[in-house]
C-alpha cells in the first residue's frame, strides 16, 4: 500500500514537472514571438525597451569612441542614454532631433572627457534638463536650440567654467539670461538669434568682454543696443540680420 502511494506521488510530481516545462516553453515562444514583432511597431513600449537593451549591449563594445551621433534617432530614450556611461573617451556627442531624451542628461555626468554636446531641436528638453549639465565639467561647446528653455534653465549653466561656445538660438529667454552667461569665464562665441530680444536689458552685453563671435539676428533690437556692444573690443564677428538697426 505504502509503495503504491509513493508511486502515485512520484507520478504526480513528474506530471507537474512536465506540465511546467511545457508552460515555460510556451511562454518562451510567446515572448520570442512578441519580441520579433517589436521592430514593426514603431514607438511602442516594447520597442523602447528593446532599443535600450540593444544600446547597452552595443555601446559596451565601443569603449574607444570619441565621437557619437544619434541625430534623428527617434527611439533613443533617457534610459538608453544611461548605456553611454562606459564611453569614457567620448569627446563629442550629438542628440539633435531626438524627441525622447528628456531626463537623461544626469547619466552623462560621468563622461569626464566630453567637450561638445548638441541637443539641437530636441523639443522634449525642458529647463530641468539643464540642471545636470554643470556636472560635465569638461564641456566646451553646447548647442541647445530648444524652444522650451527659459532664463531659469540657463541659470543652471553657471558652473560650466570651460564653456567656449554656447548656441541658444530660438530659446524662450530674455536678456536676464545674460546674468548667468556673463559669468562664464571662457565664453567666446554666443548665439542668441531669434530670441525676440529688445533693447531693455541689453546693457548686460557689456559684461561679455571676451566674446569673439556674437549672433543677435532676428531680434527686436535697435541702435540703442549697439551702444552697449562698443566695449566688446575682441569681437571678430557680429550678426545683426533683420534687426531694427538704422545706423
Model confidence at 23: pLDDT above 50: no
Q: What is the pLDDT of residue 41?
A: 34
pLDDT tens-digit readout, 136-157: 999 999 999 998 999 999 999 9
Q: pTM for the complete prediction?
A: 0.76
On whether residue 30 sits in a domain, the answer given is: no
In the chain, how many domains are there? 1
Q: What is the pLDDT of residue 30?
A: 33
pLDDT tens-digit readout, 200-226: 999 999 999 999 999 999 999 999 999
On whether residue 89 sits in a domain, the answer given is: yes
Cα–Cα dist 59/57, whole Å: 6
On whether residue 7 sits in a domain, the answer given is: no
On whether residue 27 sits in a domain, the answer given is: no
The C-alpha cell 562665441 sits at: 189
On whether residue 225 sits in a domain, the answer given is: yes
What is the 3-class SS of 174-224, one letter each residue? CHHHHHHHCCCCCCCEEECCCCCCECCCHHHHHHCCCCCEEECCCCECEHH
On whether residue 98 sits in a domain, the answer given is: yes
Q: What is the pLDDT of residue 45?
A: 46
Q: What is the pLDDT of residue 97?
A: 96
Q: What is the pLDDT of residue 55?
A: 55
Strands (E), 49-191: 67-69, 92-94, 116-118, 141-143, 165-167, 189-191
On whether residue 146 sits in a domain, the answer given is: yes
Q: What is the pLDDT of residue 111?
A: 95
On whether residue 68 sits in a domain, the answer given is: yes
Model confidence at 80: pLDDT above 90: no
Q: Residue 168 is part of a domain; what is its CATH number?
A: 3.80.10.10
Provide the mean pLDDT of the chain. Answer: 82
Q: What is the pLDDT of residue 172?
A: 87
Q: What is the pLDDT of residue 75?
A: 92
Give me the domain span that covers residue 101: 63-239
Amino acid at each position: 500500500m505504502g509503495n503504491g502511494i509513493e508511486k502515485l506521488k512520484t507520478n504526480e510530481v513528474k506530471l507537474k514537472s512536465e506540465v511546467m516545462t511545457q508552460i515555460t516553453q510556451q511562454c518562451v515562444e510567446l515572448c520570442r514571438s512578441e519580441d520579433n514583432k517589436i521592430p514593426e511597431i514603431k514607438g511602442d513600449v516594447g520597442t523602447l525597451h528593446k532599443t535600450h537593451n540593444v544600446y547597452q549591449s552595443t555601446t559596451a563594445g565601443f569603449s574607444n569612441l570619441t565621437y557619437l551621433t544619434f541625430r534623428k534617432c527617434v527611439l533613443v530614450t533617457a534610459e538608453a542614454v544611461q548605456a553611454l556611461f562606459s564611453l569614457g573617451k567620448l569627446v563629442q556627442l550629438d542628440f539633435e532631433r531626438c524627441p525622447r531624451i528628456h531626463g537623461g542628461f544626469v547619466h552623462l555626468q560621468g563622461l569626464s572627457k566630453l567637450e561638445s554636446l548638441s541637443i539641437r531641436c530636441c523639443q522634449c528638453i525642458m529647463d530641468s534638463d539643464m540642471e545636470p549639465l554643470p556636472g560635465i565639467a569638461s564641456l566646451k561647446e553646447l548647442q541647445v536650440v530648444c524652444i522650451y528653455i527659459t532664463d531659469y534653465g540657463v541659470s543652471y549653466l553657471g558652473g560650466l567654467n570651460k564653456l567656449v561656445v554656447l548656441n541658444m538660438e530660438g530659446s524662450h529667454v530674455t536678456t536676464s539670461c545674460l546674468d548667468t552667461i556673463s559669468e562664464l569665464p571662457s565664453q567666446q562665441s554666443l548665439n542668441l538669434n531669434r530670441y525676440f530680444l529688445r533693447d531693455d536689458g541689453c546693457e548686460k552685453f557689456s559684461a561679455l568682454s571676451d566674446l569673439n563671435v556674437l549672433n543677435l539676428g532676428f531680434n527686436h533690437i535697435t541702435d540703442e543696443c549697439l551702444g552697449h556692444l562698443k566695449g566688446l573690443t575682441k569681437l571678430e564677428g557680429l550678426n545683426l540680420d533683420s534687426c531694427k538697426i538704422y545706423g
